[in-house]
Amino acid sequence: MALSIDYLPISVGREPLFGEEGAHCCFYTSKAALEKIERNGPSSKYEDAKLIAPTLKAPRVVFEGLNRVEYSDALCYTGEHAEVGGREMVFLIFAKREWGLVVFDWEWRLEDSNSPGYPINWTEDFGRQIWPKN
């Protein structure tokens, strides 16, 4: 299937499913969604979009399966950006497989004090960890 004009390539990032060190793929996001956030805010979410590329390129951990209706095969990439979010926060990116990997949301969460780099409640909120391999 061809790339829709409504989507923008935003980054090349780690492809965790192949299990090979250095395997990468292209990620996309909705042009309309980014424009809406830019116009209507919150402005912090638009600014946080700048963290998507570095997080996808070098994630701390990747989960497959969000414990949300219709997202059982979606991915969650996490990254640590203390210079922006603070030392106790983790940046999360949510992507789903369509004709490529499409980022549909991103947010900050508190870090799990027992698992550095992991978001709080990660065992309840996500399916299995697929990167790094356990």
Question: Pick the residue with more confidence: 13 or 83?
Answer: 13
Question: What's residue 34's pLDDT?
Answer: 87
Q: Tens digit of pLDDT for each residue in 119-133?
A: 999 999 999 999 886
Q: Provide DSSP, the chain.
A: -PPPTTEEEEEEEE-TTS--TT-EEEEEEEHHHHHHHHHHS-HHHHHHGGGHHHHHHS-SEEEEEESSTT-TT-EEEEE--HHHH-TTEEEEEEEEESSSEEEEEEEEEEBPTTSTTSBTTHHHHEEEEEES--
Q: What percent of the chain has pLDDT over 70?
A: 87
Q: Tens digit of pLDDT for each residue in 6-61?
A: 888 888 887 766 555 667 788 999 999 889 999 998 889 999 999 999 999 999 99
Q: What band does 2 get if pLDDT is binned at 50, 70 and 90?
A: low
User: What is the average pLDDT across 81-106?
Assistant: 86
Domains of the chain: which residue ranges? 7-131
Question: What's residue 131's pLDDT?
Answer: 87
